[in-house]
Amino acid sequence: MSAPELEIKGVSRVFPGRKGGAPIEALSPTDLTLAKNDFVTILGPSGCGKSTLLRIVAGLDKPTTGEVLLEGKAIKGPGADRGMVFQSYTLFPWLTIRENVGFGLREKGVRDKQVREAVDLYLDRVGLSAFADHWPKQLSGGMQQRTAIARALANDPKILLLDEPFGALDNQTRGLMQELLLGIWEREKKTVIFVTHDIEESVFMASRVVTMSARPGRISSITPVDFPHPRDYHLKADPEFARLRMKLTEEIRAEVVAAASRG
């Protein structure tokens, strides 16, 4: 295996209980290592700590124990080396699509010409060149998420962190977005962590599917997904794809049933 790109080592998170209640162990000590160009999807029932783990990797939250290393360096806070895309549309409404995509680069003091080149390149990659001068509110949800992906990529991060990025989209748009993101990943070879509730999506996108169980959140399985690239929607009809989807459905189902019986 090549040198690890990201190492999650013994990372846990305990939140203080509300109003004197018992503390909440959102994440029990967790280890996960990603190689460069890995595409890991994280799948699990609601409340199993997926977002907590992603926020810690992003540097938006601090672990109670453990540490996260990116290319051997401990993560201490948010940084341009990690690009985030959330489920809710997070574009700046007062900036045009072009200005949104170029925002991070401008903040870093990159020269205008380079900003323009990067913005043009990534708007082209997500198919939004014709909308560069529109405002976010003039775009559909899918187009806003494409802009958010272009914005994350324009900063040339080492790793992309996506928290249910297609969760609010209709099924058709979602399928197209999956192919679009995979196409970009196949080309750019970024390292990706992608949180989703959707089992089919988790298999379609991933090199490895990590499942998590709740209370306290922990990794319950890691499933390699070896289908070749480029992948397109025909893969979803493949018998081996159906077998993996069923295996994960059963795992997650058992988790949800167990969590419900714990009350």
Ligand X SMILES: Nc1ncnc2c1ncn2[C@@H]1O[C@H](COP(=O)(O)OP(=O)(O)OP(=O)(O)O)[C@@H](O)[C@H]1O
**Contact positions vs ligand X (CB under 6 A):** 15, 24, 26, 44, 46-52, 217
- Minimum Å distance from CB 217 to ligand X? 6
Give the residue with the Cβ less far from ligand X, 61 or 188.
61
- Minimum Å distance from CB 220 to ligand X? 13
Give the residue with the Cβ less far from ligand X, 44 or 136.
44
- Minimum Å distance from CB 48 to ligand X? 4
- Minimum Å distance from CB 63 to ligand X? 12
> Rounded to 5 degrees, what angle do the CA atoms 230, 234, 235 make?
65
- Minimum Å distance from CB 231 to ligand X? 25
Give the residue with the Cβ less far from ligand X, 15 or 92.
15
Count CA within 13 A, CB hemisphere, residue 254.
9
CA distances from 170 to 106, 174, 240, 245, 252 (A): 33, 6, 26, 20, 23
The string of DSSP letters for 121-182 reads HHHHHTT-GGGTTS-GGGS-HHHHHHHHHHHHHHT--SEEEEESTTTTS-HHHHHHHHHHHH
3-class secondary structure, 23: coil
Give the residue with the Cβ less far from ligand X, 12 or 51.
51
Give the residue with the Cβ less far from ligand X, 139 or 161.
161
3-class secondary structure, 212: strand
Give the residue with the Cβ less far from ligand X, 43 or 149.
43
Give the residue with the Cβ less far from ligand X, 145 or 213.
213
- Minimum Å distance from CB 262 to ligand X? 12
**DSSP-assigned beta bridge partners for residue 218:** 213
- Minimum Å distance from CB 15 to ligand X? 3
Give the residue with the Cβ less far from ligand X, 50 or 98.
50
| Measured torsion, CA atoms of residues 136, 142, 145, 147, in degrees rounded to the nearest 10 | -60
By the 8 A CB rule, do 235 and 254 touch? no
- Minimum Å distance from CB 34 to ligand X? 19
1 CB-near residues (< 8 Å, 6+ apart)? 35
Write the DSSP symbol of residue 116.
H
Element holding 113 (H helix, E strand): helix 112-125
